[in-house]
Amino acid sequence: MPERVMVAAVGAVRHLVQRIRGERPGHAVHGAKALIAALFAWAVAAPWSPGHGPYLAVAMALLMVNASTVYQSVTKAAQSVVAKLAGLLALATAWLFGATAGSVAVIAIIAVLGGPRRTTDDRLQIASTAVIALAATATAPMGSLVAPVLQTLTGAVAGIAVNALVLPPLYVDESEAAVRAVAHDIGTLLHDMGDGLAERNLTAKAHTWLHRARTLEKRLTHAEERLRQADESLRWNARCVAHARRKDVTYGEAFRILRGATLQVRGIARTLADNAHDHHADHHLGQQFLDRYAETLGLAGAAVKEFVEPGAMAGSSSAARDRLRGAIDSVLDWHDTMTDLIGRGTLTKPGAWYVYGSLMTDVERLLADLDYADAR
C-alpha cells in the first residue's frame, strides 16, 4: 500500500512539473508584454503629465495589453473611453453649479441616460468619472482634468499597440485540443457500447451509456467557447496577416459535424436504455442483431476518433478513409438485409422492428455526416 501511495505521489508531482513547464512560456510572454506596455506608456505620458507621474496611463496600458485577444483589447478600450467621455459631460454641470446637490443629481441622470444599454460596470464607470470630475473642479481649475483624459487615451493606445504587435495571442491550438477531446469522448463511448453489447451487458450498462451520452454536452460547450475565442483571436491579428493564419484550420466545421454526431449517439444510447428495460419480451432486440450492431458501433467509434486526426482533416489519410467507407458500406448492406427480413416477415423479433429502425437510422446518419465532411 505505501508503494502505491508513493507511486501516485510521484506521478502527481511529475504531472504538476510538466504543467508548469508547459505554461511557463505563456506566462513569460504575458510578463514581457506587460512590462513593455507599462514602460512605453510611461515614456510617452511622463514628459507632459503633472508631477511627471502618468500612473493612469500605465494602468490603462496594463489593462489593454492583458486582454485575451487584440479584438477584445480594442473594443474594451473603446468602451472605456466612451464611458469616461460620458462621465465628463458632468464637467459642464460641475463648472456651472459647483459642488452642490444639483450637480450630484445631474451626475446620476447622466450615468443612467448615458448608457441605458450598457452593463452595470459601464454605468458605474460613467458615474465614478463624473464624481471624480466634480471633486477635481471643486479644488482645482477645469484644465487639471485634461491630463487624466489624455493619460487614459495614451495608455489605451500603448496597450493596444503592444498587444497587437508583440506576439499577438492566438488560440488555434486550444480550439483544436478541445474539439479532439469531444471526438475522443464520442468515439470512446461508441466503442464501449459496442464492447458492452458484444459481452451481453446491455441491461447492466445501458443507463450508464445514456448518462455518458448526456454529459457530452459539457464537452461541446467547452469546445464551442474555445472555438469562439480562436476565431476572435484571428481578428486584427498581425500574426494572422503576416503568416496567412486565417487559412489555418480552426476546427469549426469539424465541431459542427461532431455536434450532430453527439445527437446521434444520444439517440442510440436512449434507444438501447429504453429497450433494455422494456417489459414486453417480443420487443427485445435479437442477439444476432446486437452482435452485428456491436461491430458497427466499434467501427463508428474508430471513425469518429480518426475524423479529427491531422491526416484525416487534411484528407491525406487513405487508410482512415477506407475504414470509414468500409463501415458505411457494411451498414448499408446490413440495412438492406434487415429491410428484406422485415418485408418478408422473417425477422427473429418482429415486435422490435421500430427499435431496429431507430438504431439503424442513428448510426447511418452518424457515418453519413462523417463521410460528407471527409468528402469536403
pLDDT digits (tens, 9 = 90+) for 244-264: 554 445 688 889 999 999 999
Residue 279: pLDDT over 70: no
Residue 158: pLDDT over 80: yes
**71 and 50, same structural domain?**
yes
**297 and 177, same structural domain?**
yes
The CATH code of the domain that includes 215 is 1.20.58.220
Report the C-alpha dihedral over residues 293, 208, 254, 334, rounded to 10 degrees: 10
Q: What is the pLDDT of residue 21?
A: 43
Question: Which of 165, 184, 216 is the last residue before a domain boundary?
Answer: 165
Q: What is the pLDDT of residue 263?
A: 94
Task: Report the candidate in 231, 335, 233, 246 with the shortest Cα–Cα distance to residue 293.
Answer: 335
Residue 239 included in any domain: yes
C-alpha 227/C-alpha 121 separation (Å) is 27
Q: What is the pLDDT of residue 261?
A: 93
Q: What is the pLDDT of residue 16?
A: 44
Residue 332 included in any domain: yes
Give 238's Cβ-side CA count (13 Å radius).
9
Helix runs in the chain, H state only: 2-45, 55-65, 70-88, 90-97, 101-113, 120-139, 146-165, 172-198, 202-233, 238-243, 252-276, 287-307, 310-314, 318-344, 353-375
Question: Which of 165, 180, 208 is the last residue before a domain boundary?
Answer: 165
**214 and 101, same structural domain?**
no
Given pLDDT bands bounded at 50, 70 and 90, which one contains residue 311? low
**361 and 229, same structural domain?**
yes
Question: Which of 125, 146, 165 is the last residue before a domain boundary?
Answer: 165
Q: What is the pLDDT of residue 270?
A: 94
Percent of the chain with pLDDT over 70: 64
**285 and 156, same structural domain?**
no
Given pLDDT bands bounded at 50, 70 and 90, which one contains residue 100? low
**180 and 159, same structural domain?**
no
pTM of this structure: 0.72
C-alpha 216/C-alpha 196 separation (Å) is 19
Residue 107: pLDDT over 80: no
Residue 194: pLDDT over 90: yes
DSSP state of 247: G
**229 and 117, same structural domain?**
no
Domain that holds residue 230: 172-375
C-alpha 256/C-alpha 238 separation (Å) is 28
- Return the C-alpha cell found at 104: 450630484
Residue 255 included in any domain: yes
Residue 115: pLDDT over 70: no
**188 and 126, same structural domain?**
no
DSSP state of 170: -
Phi-psi region of 168 (alpha: psi -120 to 50; beta: other; left: phi over 0): beta
Mean predicted lDDT score pLDDT of the chain? 76
Residue 18 included in any domain: no
**292 and 241, same structural domain?**
yes
DSSP state of 283: G
DSSP state of 285: P
Q: Name the residue with higher pLDDT: 132 or 245.
A: 132
Residue 15 included in any domain: no
Residue 236 included in any domain: yes
C-alpha 285/C-alpha 277 separation (Å) is 11
Percent of the chain with pLDDT over 90: 21
Residue 237: pLDDT over 80: yes
Residue 19 included in any domain: no
**292 and 268, same structural domain?**
yes
Given pLDDT bands bounded at 50, 70 and 90, which one contains residue 180? very high
**137 and 259, same structural domain?**
no
Residue partners of 332: CB distance under 8 A and separation at least 6 = 364
C-alpha 129/C-alpha 201 separation (Å) is 67
Considering its fold, how many domains does the chain have in total? 2
Q: What is the pLDDT of residue 17?
A: 42
CB 219 within 8 A of CB 185: yes
**Per-residue pLDDT tens digits for 214-235:** 999 999 999 999 999 988 888 8
Q: What is the pLDDT of residue 363?
A: 86
Q: What is the pLDDT of residue 282?
A: 59
